[in-house]
Amino acid sequence: MAVNPDIDPSSITNDPIVNNVVELIVKRHVQGMEKFGKTMSNNKRPMSEWVDETIEELLDAVHYLTKMKSMFQEFDTDSDKVKTALKSLEQGKTSTHEKTKTES
């Protein structure tokens, strides 16, 4: 499995984002070695298969991103509803407070 056990991928740079990406790459490499038993450099698939595989992966990514976008839009809508409700409650408190003052 050609991974140096002394390397801690989470501390390679001073950028935690880069370290996270490196760690993901190493984990993916280990999974690939377990599943296919050979490194990428030893995999002699035809280029057309690499292209097809990449297209499939990118199409999956488009699906995931589209789903996430719809979730963000739902969150924005819900957030707007909450803001409107809070504003309404605040206005209700203000008018109730003002009524109490004028009645006193």
∠9-15-17 over CA atoms, to 5°? 75
Give yes or no: residues 55 and 40 share one domain.
no
The pTM assigned to this predicted structure is 0.59
pLDDT digits (tens, 9 = 90+) for 54-64: 999 999 999 99
pLDDT of residue 103: 65
In whole angstroms, give the CA distance from residue 27 to residue 54.
19
Domain tally, the chain? 2
pLDDT tens digit sequence for 73-100: 998 888 888 999 999 998 887 665 666 6
100, two tokens: 């109490």
Q: What is the pLDDT of residue 100?
A: 60
Task: Give mean pLDDT, residues 49-58.
Answer: 97
Radius of gyration of the chain (CA): 27
φ, ψ (nearest 5 deg) of residue 7: -90, 130
The verdict on 104 and 60 lying in the same domain is yes
Count of residues making up the chain = 104
Q: Which residue segment(s) compose the domain that 88 sits in?
A: 47-104
